Amino acid sequence: MVSEKATPVAVVMGSDSDMKVMKSCIEQLGDFGIEPVVRIISAHRTPEIAADFAENAAENGIKVIIAAAGMAAHLAGAMAAKATLPVIGVPVDSGAGLGGMDALLSTVQMPPGVPVATMAIGKAGAKNAAIFAVQILALADANFREKLAAFKQDQKQNVINKDADLQ
Ligand code: RP5
């Protein structure tokens, strides 16, 4: 089952426990005017749904899939296995004692031929996944290019202001 909402970005996560991290991603997408399809789909617990989602994502209007998971994180890989769309992976620290390194290595170490663009562990990666997705969309959309330029300018000004406040 894929949402009927017309949106170019899907955010899938392995568990509702990943939402505390992925909120940053969804909010950042919202700042760019994108309301993503958001799904909880597990590569291990609901493998058939994962395969079905990835297989049908493109024809449902999705252009970029962001996939987040913790522990032996195979969700992004499962998406990349079935979809020809770009897949961005976000490793989540699930509190299993390895600080998210388990998920990072599981997400990043894809075999040749099945790439996953892997972000940093946790909220930084979640936020960057949203920005990276918009950068992909911006290749064919001047509106997103303008929004990205404004975002960069705001970010720069923010640092300059903080520096000025210290002087
Ligand atoms: C992964 O296992 C999920 O992505 C989550 O990060 C982790 C733990 O899942 P829960 O036990 O919290 O559902 O598949």
Those residues whose C-beta lies under 8 Å from the C-beta of residue 120, and which sit 6 or more positions away, are 91, 128
Determine the pLDDT at residue 41. 98
| 48-105 pLDDT tens trace | 999 999 999 999 999 999 999 999 999 999 999 999 999 999 999 999 999 999 999 9
Taking domain 4-141, whether its CATH number is 1.10.10.10 is answered by no
Instruction: Pick the atom of ligand 1 nearest to 44's CA.
Output: 14
5: confidence class by pLDDT, cuts 50, 70, 90: low
Residue 13 confidence (pLDDT): 98
CB-ligand 1 contact for 96 (6 Å cutoff): no
Q: Parse the chain into domains and list their residue ranges.
A: 4-141
Q: What is the pLDDT of residues 110-130, one digit of tens each?
A: 999 999 999 999 999 999 999
Q: Atom 6 (ligand 1): residue with closest C-alpha?
A: 70
Residue 4, pLDDT above cutoff 70: no
CB-ligand 1 contact for 125 (6 Å cutoff): no
pLDDT confidence tier of residue 3, bands split at 50, 70 and 90: very low
Average pLDDT, the chain: 96
CA 124 – CA 155 distance, rounded (Å): 14
- Output the CA 91–ligand 1 centroid distance in Å: 11
Whole-angstrom CA distances from 122 to 92, 97, 125 are: 5, 14, 5
Residue nearest to atom 13 of ligand 1 (CA): 15
Sheet hosting strand 64-70, strand order edge to edge: 37-40, 9-13, 64-70, 87-92, 117-118
Distance CA 110, CA 146 (A): 33
pLDDT value of position 2: 42
Predicted structure pTM score:
0.96
